[in-house]
Amino acid sequence: MDTSTVVILDFGSQYTQLIARRIREFNVFSVVLPCTAPLEQVKALNPKGVILSGGPCSVYDADAPNADEGVLAMGVPVLGICYGLQFIVHHLGGRVVGAAAREYGHAEVTVVAETPLFRGLPGTMDVWMSHGDEAEELPLGFQLTAKTANAVAGIADEARRIWAVQFHPEVAHTRQGMELLKNFCLDICGAEQDWTPEHFIQSTVERIRAQVGTGHAICGLSGGVDSSVAAVLVARAIGDRLTCIFVNNGVLRKDEFLKVQTTMCEQLGLNVVAVDSSQRFLEKLAGVTDPEKKRKVIGNEFIAVFDDEAKKIFEAQKDSQPSAGEEIAWLVQGTLYPDVIESSSVHGPSHTIKSHHNVGGLPADMKLKLIEPLRDLFKDEVRRIGRDLGMPEDIIERQPFPGPGLAVRILGEVTAERVAILQEADQIVVDEIKKAGLYRKVWQSFAVLLPVKSVGVMGDQRTYANTCAVRAVESEDGMTADWAPLPYEVLRTISSRIVSEVRGINRVVYDITSKPPGTIEWE
């Protein structure tokens, strides 16, 4: 990156992504690396500063996450947060002990020494604490800068350009947290606020153009914001040498196969090859009820279909341009930064949250190399980029949709009949959420078809039909979520319309489970 960069070393905190997001909110680029990243990797990014995140461990645990101590001697400013403070104290000759009074939740911090980190902040602050250990003795050269009634809350060695706080400035509960992080990044580190959509688009297009050269690329479109923005960026760089493949896997939303084609071709000007493989997918899903097996069936079949179509495209290009036979073919993906972060564990592969979601299993003879233009972005940043690219709002603001589609919203066997029933019910949910002006306020809203039948009365006749669950959640990034308290009038209308208009459903229920303990999708 040719922008000012702040590196965040992740020691396993649940808030690490939030630190990165907060820094980017004032247009400074941030990179999250596992704490085990080699010192050379950190230095290669030429960071303006380094932040050591919190973490769930004690510095004395046998498997405590560790980092190269050379990070503390790079000469760039360092900010330790929670576990980061304890790491600094422990490795520079101080003493960390189990706290007599552990602090979790709200706490009051008193500033006891002047420091650039607290410049402009009040002498007393409400903060968010989450620690069971505390610094008992500070390393030589450090001074106490803040404290609570029970423990050390801030330290600094300005000669070595190291600061640390025991609380979490990145969470909303710490009221002056953003100002503290801004003091560190802008004033102490001297980072430039040059991480903007316009700069990102320009530098990304130039990089893709140089990367691909005279080669060709293909992109698997889903119709969602991530793959659409990625495709538009690459098309801006290489024009008609990008071909997008949109596969109907039989479990798309109602009319989606035609809608996406129209949007991508007419509104975005993309070159799209549409492949209707719905029957092929449904045949593979016949009799499958296990959720994980459904995902694997759909994933494997998608790869097979994608492979077939990609080979046709590349063969056609070779026929029309024989000299291109030795050129590299590229695969475009809408990978986002949370996927990259979640694929890097401070404890190694066994603790990784999920594997990096590239299209695994593609045949080696396709000679595809990846282009992931969005791998440095969060979802909200992707939407900002989409707007700056002039993309339609209905694409930019589209709610996330799972890769396996409606298959993971149909509990039990997936059949053409059950897909049709759910498509109708789901369309009603989305329509009414939009009519109520709530579509952009909730993270996801959809219907789920349950393998449960119940007795009902319709038109004085006894019915025995399916149950439909409605799900709506609020979230920032999908990693955690709360169920959305939809207005009763909206729920009443959704229920009434589904039961009246969708043959095969006679009962509607509302899911009020948060994540955790549940997940957003039912399967």
Q: How far apart are CA 85 and CA 95, in angstroms?
A: 11
223: tokens are 């119709």
* Nearest in space to 479 (alpha carbons), one of 16, 83, 7: 16
Residue 333 · residue 356 · CB < 8 Å:
no
Residue with tokens 């979230």: 475
Alpha helices in 111-248 (DSSP H): 177-182, 197-212, 225-238
Q: Which of these is catalytic: 35, 168, 219, 381?
A: 168
Per the annotation, the verdict on 168 as an active-site residue is yes
Q: Which residues contact 488 (CB under 8 A, 6 or more apart)?
A: none
189: tokens are 């580190």
DSSP state of 139: P
Q: Which of these is catalytic: 82, 189, 219, 244?
A: 82
SS3 4: coil
| Whether residue 517 has a cis bond before it, omega within 30° of 0 | yes
Task: Give the HSE-up count for residue 31: Cα atoms under 13 Å, Cβ half-sphere.
Answer: 21
Q: Which of these is catalytic: 170, 309, 432, 523?
A: 170
Q: How far apart are CA 48 and CA 68, in angstroms?
A: 18
* Nearest in space to 511 (alpha carbons), one of 481, 467, 468, 469: 469
Strand order in the sheet with 368-371: 272-276, 242-248, 216-221, 329-332, 368-371
Task: Give the HSE-up count for residue 317: Cα atoms under 13 Å, Cβ half-sphere.
Answer: 21
148: tokens are 């609570």
DSSP H helix total and E strand total for the chain: 14, 18
DSSP state of 481: B
Per the annotation, the verdict on 82 as an active-site residue is yes
Alpha helices in 376-453 (DSSP H): 379-388, 393-396, 416-435
Burial of 244 (0-12, 13-18, 19+ CB in 10 A): buried
Task: Give the HSE-up count for residue 153: Cα atoms under 13 Å, Cβ half-sphere.
Answer: 28
Q: Which residues are catalytic?
A: 82, 168, 170
